[in-house]
Amino acid sequence: MFKRSKFLWVLLAGALLVSLLVGCSDTQTDSSGSDDDSSGEVSDNGSNSDTIDVGIILPTRDEPRWVQDEQRFRDAIADSNYTTEILFSQGSSANELQNVETLISRGIDVLIMSPHDGDAAGAAAKAASLEGIKVISYDRLITNTDAVDYYVTFDSFAVGEAQGQYLIDQTDGEGVPLYLYAGASSDNNAFLFFDGAWSVLQPKIADGTFVIANSSAAEGLKDKNELSRDELGQILNQVTTNWDPNEAINKAQTHLTSAGEELKGDVRVLAPNDGTARSIADTFSADSDITNYVITGQDAEKASIQYIIDGKQSMTVFKDVRRLVEDAMGLAITILDGNTPETTGAYDNGSIDVAALQSEVITVDQLNVQAELIDSGYYEASEFTGLE
């Protein structure tokens, strides 16, 4: 359940989607809500009486990850014939539902939504679906409902694998303390990330390379490579950050306070994303008994790229949001044009298999940050200090 199912990945028509996007040109696009930090309401920019073709709902502006997505959507739709509106739910399922209702009243035909809480978002997706609106789940899967038509996503299991493998590659010897952290259990991705990391870390825990420092649930399951959803949930319950950097600091402080000397020194830290990685890294570097740490991340947030350049965060998993946006808008435009989108696989959301498009991810550390993020044009060198 909730995992990739029936994936027969074929090298897809990324190019086709690009050409669909490029083919749409020239009309004004409305995307508001950007100046309003406090709510997910449609901001009044004088265009509220206009109808909207595509509604886009993102979980929160408080995390740079989703502000990246907003910017990439704006870049992608700048020349589109279709009108769009981008709204934020600010970490609230109630806001999310209200946003969907607002967009329904604005006449959208396609809803692209990244849910705050996968299960809770089912009601919002249903409300849209009942109006004949096609629902595209974006990055995070809307779970336990049949009201999702498509899913565009990164390979989230591979994100976790990349994180776990990085820790393994940076470790010699045995008995190395391993601190585990995870995302919010309301987010299906948090399970996929942890599952992917566990798939590679578990053999190295079982053979004594790593010693789990902060989860009795993980310790109890250390001989099992494939965990059920319930078992993953037991570990997540202990080590969740809820995607909140402050909660991550509190957890890390508690763990370090209760850890004995044998769990200090040169340690490894599985941090689920960049926002939590930076705050966990700061907490670990403030502990004088920690002599060295290797810590993971994901999202290639600018602040974490600077941390990587400065040697304060070890790696990030780069998920090229331009590609995800391209896939989502490509699907939306195909639907608006009255055609049936091509997909490359399916994800079981607990109720149905949702037709999906999936993108690959890239491990980035000091060695390839220049090539992957600067030379590729994703960021400007001038946005960082200390790049060679």
Report the nearest approach of ligand BGC to the CB of residue 165 (Å): 18
- Write the binding mask 271 to 310 for ligand BGC: x where contact by CB under 6 A, - elsewhere: --x------------------------xx-----------
| 129/111 Cα distance (integer angstroms) | 9
Report the nearest approach of ligand BGC to the CB of residue 295 (Å): 15
Q: Any contact of residue 241 with ligand BGC (CB under 6 A)? A: no
Report the nearest approach of ligand BGC to the CB of residue 173 (Å): 31
Among residue numbers 127 through 166, which ones bind ligand BGC (CB under 6 A)? Answer: 139-140
Total residues interacting with ligand BGC, rule: CB under 6 A: 11
Q: Name which of 153, 157, 133 is nearest 142 in CA terms.
A: 153
Cα four-point dihedral sign 373, 382, 74, 118: positive
Q: Name which of 47, 50, 104, 54 is nearest 76 in CA terms.
A: 54
Q: Which of 138, 157, 181, 243: binder of ligand BGC (CB under 6 A)? A: 243
Report the nearest approach of ligand BGC to the CB of residue 331 (Å): 18
- Write the binding mask 29 to 68 for ligand BGC: x where contact by CB under 6 A, - elsewhere: ----------------------------------x-x---
Residue where the block lists tokens 């709902």 = 57
Q: Which two tokens stand for residue 240?
A: 């969740």
Q: Any contact of residue 244 with ligand BGC (CB under 6 A)? A: no
Q: Which is nearer to ligand BGC, 167 or 277 (CB)?
A: 277
| 70/67 Cα distance (integer angstroms) | 5
User: Where does this chain touch ligand BGC (CB under 6 A) — which range of 42-50, 182-190, 218-226, 256-264?
Assistant: 182-190
Q: Which is nearer to ligand BGC, 85 or 117 (CB)?
A: 117
| 234/251 Cα distance (integer angstroms) | 16
CB 365 within 8 A of CB 359: no
Report the nearest approach of ligand BGC to the CB of residue 91 (Å): 9
3-state SS, residue 73: helix
- Give the CB-nearest residue to ligand BGC: 273
Report the nearest approach of ligand BGC to the CB of residue 388 (Å): 28
Q: Which two tokens stand for residue 87?
A: 């709204």
Residue where the block lists tokens 């502990």 = 287
Q: Which is nearer to ligand BGC, 134 or 140 (CB)?
A: 140
Geometric angle at alpha carbon 240, from 235 and 242, rounded to 5°: 150
Coarse DSSP helix, strand, coil percentages of the chain, rounded to the nearest 5 percent: 40, 15, 40
What backbone torsions phi and psi does residue 250 show, to the nearest 5 degrees?
-60, -45
User: What residues line the site for ligand BGC (CB under 6 A)?
Assistant: 63, 65, 139-140, 183, 187, 189, 243, 273, 298-299
